[in-house]
Copies of this chain bind each other. A is one copy, B any other.
């Protein structure tokens, strides 16, 4: 980090810019990685079971999903609900906290849909 260099020149910038950039960075910190948002989409659409989720996210492996879900549980993004019956079933749910992220995910989906239309026309 060579923040010294950045700070040395106070520079005529509107504080607003810096703040918006920081907000974006904060959100990115929570949502970083390749799989976090797709997993949220899956859960949001009612895919709750482990293999169910894995099967519907193109390219993900079980190991990656497992690791991501662990981290997301620690970060309070998902809840893990285990049923002790046999065969063992586990469900994952979005926390309310995570649900508040959905506008971001939604705009992502909308852009993707629009973009698909554009490039295929």
Q: Give residues in A with beta carbon < 8 Å to B.
A: 1-3, 6, 9, 11, 13-14, 16-28, 30, 32, 34, 37-38, 41-42, 45-47, 52, 54-59, 61, 100-101, 103-116
Contacts and interface: CB of A to CB of B under 8 A. Distances in A.
Minimum-distance CB pairs A-B, first 6: A23-B112, A26-B112, A27-B112, A17-B45, A104-B107, A27-B108
Given A13-B47, A107-B103, A111-B104, A58 B28 contact: no
Contacts of A100: 111, 114-115
A24 B56 contact: no
Contacts of A61: 1-2
A107 B111 CA distance: 12
